[in-house]
Amino acid sequence: RIHVLLDLQHEWKQMIIHNMTNSPSEITGRISRRKAQNQNYKKNGKKKQIESKERTLEEIMQEMMNEQTGGSSATASDPRGKVSYMVASAATALHEGQALGADVLIVDPPRKGLEEAVLTQLCKPHNPNQAFVEDPMFLDGPKYAVNWTNDVHTLIYVSCGFDALARDCDQLLKGNAGWRLESATGYVLFPGSNHVETVAIFKRKAGRDYID
């Protein structure tokens, strides 16, 4: 299970919400000419010329799933049940239990770096006595005692502010959570500027590692 925390600035949040609310209700796709011809191949061996048929994205996804599983549309699993999203700050999402049971956590904060509340949770030492669950209702004890990132063993930090990354990295490595820096890669996405995007990967032993 992977959880992503995107701590976007206000104007970006408004733009995303606007695009979501104004997006079309249906997305259509076109099947390839070759596939259309193969689907309408005549018994006498001649290919029938047909016009490309428009289908919704949902129909295309359903057909792909049926081909992989070999089952019918009635038995295929619904991909929408595997992905969910929550509109909230990174700290609020954590305290709602969004990272419980997650093996991987992806954080993509603004240039100021991680929120203090998020960094505090990530720096907490792993609690082997905390139950491995995905819903906070199954946890015992008061909420203030819960380690909301207890199960995360891989942290992927996408940074657009190198100074903030260096500060957060220093706290993660000096904390008692057991994090170690496995790799850090810089990407120059804006040639000619002094801006560098960095992807840092931290690992530790936690969560499912203590069960297996």
Distances (CA, A) of 205 to 60, 125, 142: 40, 11, 25
Distances (CA, A) of 13 to 7, 19, 82, 89: 9, 10, 23, 11
- pLDDT at 6 exceeding the cut of 80: no
pLDDT (0 to 100) of residue 44: 47
Q: How confident is the model at residue 170 (pLDDT cuts 50, 70, 90)?
A: very high
The first and second tokens of residue 138, run together, are 């199954």
pLDDT (0 to 100) of residue 178: 93
Is the backbone of residue 101 left (phi > 0), alpha (psi -120 to 50) or beta?
A: left
Give the span between the Cα atoms of 196 and 31, in whole angstroms: 40
CA terminus-to-terminus distance, the chain: 16
Residue pair 177/204 in contact (Cβ under 8 Å)? The answer is: yes
Between 160 and 41, residue with greater pLDDT = 160
pLDDT (0 to 100) of residue 193: 86
Query: Which alpha helices (DSSP H) does 153-200 contain, by range?
Result: 162-174
| DSSP assignment string, 131-152 | ---SSGGG--S-GGG--TTTT-
pLDDT tens, 112-129? 999 999 999 999 998 888
The first and second tokens of residue 133, run together, are 């669950």
- pLDDT at 66 exceeding the cut of 50: yes
| CB neighbour class for 153 (10 Å; exposed up to 12, middle 13-18, buried from 19) | buried
Between 118 and 3, residue with greater pLDDT = 118
pLDDT tens, 52-62? 456 676 777 77
pLDDT tens, 133-150? 888 888 888 888 899 999
Outline where DSSP puts E strands in the chain. Answer: 2-6, 28-30, 54-56, 104-108, 154-159, 180-187, 197-203
